[in-house]
């Protein structure tokens, strides 16, 4: 039994990505697989898509870690910004376990990505205040103090120009509004500067698909603290989801 190889699934508002992860090294054991997130993204429809993605993998020991785009407490979704509102108060672990036949452990998607980067990537051995920000359909955040996570921070929902920040500066907004790098770079810089004023972080790590394109917008960032892309780029959420499941099963009697 290879208990250190676990299936991690990063559930997003547009797609779900899964890969078997070696939780000792943080490396993907095989290529990531993806399925579309159904629209509307209701619990029932998403559970079917989740189960389909699980079946695309073998060698996962029946344990799956899931990063989910909402506040998650004890496996339950408490918010739903970019998924169907019927998710609120639904037990993610229960519905995904029932449909996939696996033991599923769920945590916030940004917290998962943050855990991966703090363990293996850009945040490894970083003391002080570190904030990982995932940019995708929404903006997710994971806050660490001396390596310890304060779960379920939602700094993507602070107000900027009287708008929820993620509606102004998420990478989906760049696509939707057809913003150039200069335009979007200005917006993300405003967001990062505001975050810096509130939290005075020592390091900001950028995750999500757009972390790949960091060279296109790094010149617009004027924060005093260092801002760096996630080392595992967009795979951080998948790796972190597997790490979370590993952490949960290690605590089981």
List residues binding ligand BGC (CB under 6 A): 69-71, 79, 81-82, 108-110, 134, 136, 138, 140, 154, 156, 166
Q: Please, which residue, 106 or 248, has the CB nearer to ligand BGC?
A: 106
Task: Look at strands 72-73 and 63-68 and give their pairing.
Answer: unpaired
Task: Look at strands 129-135 and 203-207 and give their pairing.
Answer: parallel
Q: Please, which residue, 50 or 60, has the CB nearer to ligand BGC?
A: 50
Instruction: Supply 182's token pair.
Output: 């200069």
CB of residue 10 to ligand BGC, shortest distance in Å: 9
Q: Please, which residue, 100 or 153, has the CB nearer to ligand BGC?
A: 153
CB of residue 192 to ligand BGC, shortest distance in Å: 16
The answer for 106, left when phi > 0, alpha when psi is -120 to 50, beta otherwise, is: beta
Please give the Cα distance from 106 to 82 (Å, whole number): 17
What is the separation of C-alpha 71 from the centre of its chain, rounded to a whole number of angstroms?
A: 11
Q: Please, which residue, 29 or 241, has the CB nearer to ligand BGC?
A: 241
Q: Please, which residue, 81 or 189, has the CB nearer to ligand BGC?
A: 81
Q: Please, which residue, 29 or 46, has the CB nearer to ligand BGC?
A: 46
CB of residue 142 to ligand BGC, shortest distance in Å: 8
CB of residue 120 to ligand BGC, shortest distance in Å: 20
CB of residue 212 to ligand BGC, shortest distance in Å: 17
Q: Residue 169 phi/psi, 5° resolution?
A: -130, 0
Contacts of 221 (CB under 8 A, 6+ apart): 185, 188, 189, 192, 227
Degrees, nearest 5: CA angle 1-17-53: 65
Contacts of 109 (CB under 8 A, 6+ apart): 10, 11, 12, 67, 68, 69, 134, 140, 237, 241
Q: What is the DSSP letter of 244?
A: H
Residue with tokens 């708008």: 163
Please give the Cα distance from 203 to 251 (Å, whole number): 30
Please give the Cα distance from 178 to 138 (Å, whole number): 16
Q: Please, which residue, 5 or 117, has the CB nearer to ligand BGC?
A: 117
CB of residue 224 to ligand BGC, shortest distance in Å: 25
CB of residue 80 to ligand BGC, shortest distance in Å: 8
């Amino acid at each position: 039994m290879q208990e250190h190889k676990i299936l991690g699934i990063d559930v997003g508002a547009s797609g779900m990505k899964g890969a078997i992860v070696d939780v000792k090294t943080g490396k993907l054991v095989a290529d990531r697989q993806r399925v579309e997130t159904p629209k509307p993204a209701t619990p029932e429809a998403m559970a079917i898509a989740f189960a389909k993605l699980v079946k695309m993998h073998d060698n996962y020991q029946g344990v799956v870690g899931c990063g989910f785009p909402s506040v998650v407490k004890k496996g339950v979704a408490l918010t739903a910004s970019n998924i169907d509102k019927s998710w609120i108060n639904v037990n993610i672990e229960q519905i995904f376990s029932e449909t996939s036949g696996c033991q599923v452990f769920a945590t916030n998607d940004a917290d998962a990505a943050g855990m991966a980067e703090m363990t293996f990537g850009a945040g490894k051995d970083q003391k002080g205040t570190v904030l990982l920000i995932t940019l995708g359909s929404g903006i997710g955040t994971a806050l660490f103090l001396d390596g310890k996570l304060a779960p379920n921070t939602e700094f993507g929902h602070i107000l900027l120009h009287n708008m929820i920040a993620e509606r102004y500066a998420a990478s989906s907004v760049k696509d939707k509004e057809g913003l150039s790098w200069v335009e979007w770079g200005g917006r993300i810089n405003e967001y990062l500067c505001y975050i810096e004023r509130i939290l005075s972080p020592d390091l900001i790590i950028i995750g999500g698909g757009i972390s790949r394109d960091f060279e296109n917008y790094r010149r617009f960032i004027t924060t005093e603290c260092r801002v760096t892309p996630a080392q595992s780029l967009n795979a951080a959420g998948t790796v972190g989801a597997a790490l979370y499941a590993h952490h949960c099963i290690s605590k089981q009697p």
